[in-house]
Every structure is written in structure tokens, then in C-alpha cells.
Structure 1
Amino acid sequence: MIRLFVGLALPAAIGVPLAALGAGLPGARWVERRNLHVTLRFVGDVDETVGHELHQSLAAVRAPAFDLALEGFGTFGSRSPNALWAGVERAPGLMHLQAKVESAAVRAGLEPERRRYQPHVTLARLKDTPIARLQAFIAAHSPYRAGPFPVEGFVLFRSHLGRGGAEYEAVAEYGLG
């Protein structure tokens, strides 16, 4: 079994400043700079045959390149936040690409995603982070905006889970244009 997802890698000009935020928040486990990304479709654990079918289906995706910007911070988990994220604008090009990737995943035999797509960059996983400290962190770094930056391709990533968290490996890259 392999663990896969489809996403957008962030350029260094965007990722480096985001990674530099990683301090001063108790209970936060920050995502390493090299692992920052925008998820287009989480796949999960699949056998290698399904992974190959997904690769073939993604290779057939045709979509134009587009510009994207990040804006604002938020959290997942309303009562007990478990993740801190940077928001990603819902640019028409992003939404078009995400729909194409979702269609490719279904053509490859995956179940359709039932959750509404919420583009974001996960910055940190949270455990027992005091809500007041989290709110103060978000307020201290607001308003936040980065970009726009060009998106000229997307990536099929493999996730390797380990003691220190996940490491992501680019399995295949697909151009836009």
C-alpha cells in the first residue's frame, strides 16, 4: 500500500516566510518548509495498481496555468483546534484544476470526495494549544497575504509516515498551460 495525495508545491518565496512563522505557539508541531503545499485531492492508502491508474488519469488532465495568492489564517476543529492553516484564495484557475483532478481520481476508480473543497496550506498540527494563545497568534500575523505566484503544474505526492511526522515525495509532476 502507498499513501498518496495530489497537490501544489509552494515556491520558496512563499514557503520560506510561512515556515519562519513557526515559533511561539505552545502545542504546535510545525510543518517543515519542504512539506508545505496546497492539497488538491487527498487519496489515502491505495495499492500500487490504483496509484498507477491515478497517475495515468492525472497525466491526461489539461488545464491552464494560473496565479494564486494566500490570504488569512484559520483553524480546523471548532471547539478544540487541531490544525492552523493559511487560506488560499478560491481563484477560478484553482477551482477548475481541482475539479479536473477530482474527475481524474474518480476515473482512476477512487470514490468521489464528499467534503466541500477548502483550499489551504496546513502550517501546524495543534495539540492542547491554548485557544487564547492561538487567537493572539492569528491576530498578531493579520492581515496576511502572500503572492500572487504562478502555478504552472501540480504534483502527485507520496506520503511516508514516520515518528517525526510525514515526509512527502514527489512521485510525478504534471504541467499546466
Structure 2
Amino acid sequence: MRLFAAVLPPDPAVAELAARVGALRRLPGADGLRWTERAGWHFTLAFFGQVDESLLPALHERLARAAHRHPPHEVRLAGGGRFADKVVWAGVEGDRATLGHLADSAEAGARRAGVAMERHRRPYHPHLTLARCRGGADLRPYVDGLADFEGSAWTVAELSLVRSHPPAPGVPGAQPRYEVVAAWPLGH
């Protein structure tokens, strides 16, 4: 199964961001982007890819340990950016250092559990993907529309293991579906 570790923002934080995204979706050219569904908004900590079910007990144990090593911490959805001309994302402010350490621990735990992963050399960059563009587009208006966005603070209180179900093939606009397989409280 295709898995990743994530932090899921609470419904009130998602609702605040959704209001801003609604305005972005009314900008000229927005219909040319593939917007992610609100139900799938998350901060990926570590992407594991295909994981054999036989590794799940060890993965659960390692992720539980990773969660327990890091305290609950406060963040807020704020601002945004783009990756080249391909992705528009919302950012995060607050205790990004603890979030980064949690991401490192989730990745290390998965490796120790036997999950074969590509090693990522760049530092963790927490972001929540809002839209993608295949052919490339000028994404600056969307980034500008997020520049002054600042959501309410919330507490990251758990680490989630999420299963990704790919979109139905051949269905225009189909999106992946995400299912929380397990979650562990931070700092307990």
C-alpha cells in the first residue's frame, strides 16, 4: 500500500484556508489549474511509497516512538508560494523547527522499520499543496493572493500514517483519496 506520514490541520484551520482558496479559484486562468480537494489537505512529513503489509507492525512501532519524542507545538497556516510553475502551496508559521524534527524522525523511523525510501537531501519544507499545473503557468497571482493570509494558531498534537488511494484512471479531474491508517499523540 502507498503510505506517508503527515500532520493534518484541524477543520477550523482548513475552513480559513478554504475561504482564501475560494477567492484564488476565481482569478483569471484558475480553471487551468488542478486544485486539490479540501479533504486531502495535509502536511506530508515523510513519503514512504509502496510499503509491504509485513512491515506495518514495525512501522507503527517506529512512528509511535517518533511521535512520543516530540512535544505538541503551535503552528498556523500562513502565506504561500510556488514550486517553479508547477505547484501552488500554502505555508506554515510557528514552531517549524519541531515540525521539521518530527519529519526527520518519521523518515528515520520508517527506514529502521525496513521501508525502502529514496533519501531526500534537501531540508524539510512544510507546505500544503493547493494546486498543480502540468503545462506550466504564471502562478504569481496565486502566490500574491496568499501573501497576506494568516490563519489562526492551532496545536499539532498527533502524527498520522496516511494511505493514498490513487485517482480513478481515465476520469478527468479525479483526485487521490486519503485514508488515515493510524495516528499517535505527540509527546506521550
Residue in 1 that maps onto 2:98:
93
Structure with a larger share of its residues in strand: 1
Cα pair 2:90 2:146 within 8 Å, conserved: no
TM-score normalised to the size of structure 2?
A: 0.82
Residue in 2 that maps onto 1:44:
49
Give the 5 Å matches for 1:1-177. Answer: 2-20=1-19, 21-22=21-22, 23-24=25-26, 25-61=30-66, 62=68, 63-76=70-83, 78=84, 81-89=85-93, 91-110=96-115, 111=117, 113-116=119-122, 117-128=124-135, 130-131=137-138, 134-163=139-168, 164-177=174-187
How far apart in 1 are the matches of 2:119 and 2:92? 19
* Residues 3-43 of structure 1, C-alpha deviations (whole Å, 9 max, x = no match): 00000011111112323314131321111111100010011
Segments of structure 2 that go 5 or more residues without pairing to the other structure are 169-173
How far apart in 2 are the matches of 1:115 and 1:161? 26
CA gap of 1:97–1:129, structure 2 versus 1, over 3 A, is same
Segments of structure 1 that go 5 or more residues without pairing to the other structure are none
Letter in structure 2 aligned against 1:7: A
How far apart in 1 are the matches of 2:147 and 2:132? 19
Structure with a larger share of its residues in helix: 2
How far apart in 2 are the matches of 1:72 and 1:101? 25
* Residues 80-115 of structure 1, C-alpha deviations (whole Å, 9 max, x = no match): x22110112362221221222122112112336323
How far apart in 2 are the matches of 1:47 and 1:109? 10
How far apart in 2 are the matches of 1:130 and 1:176? 39
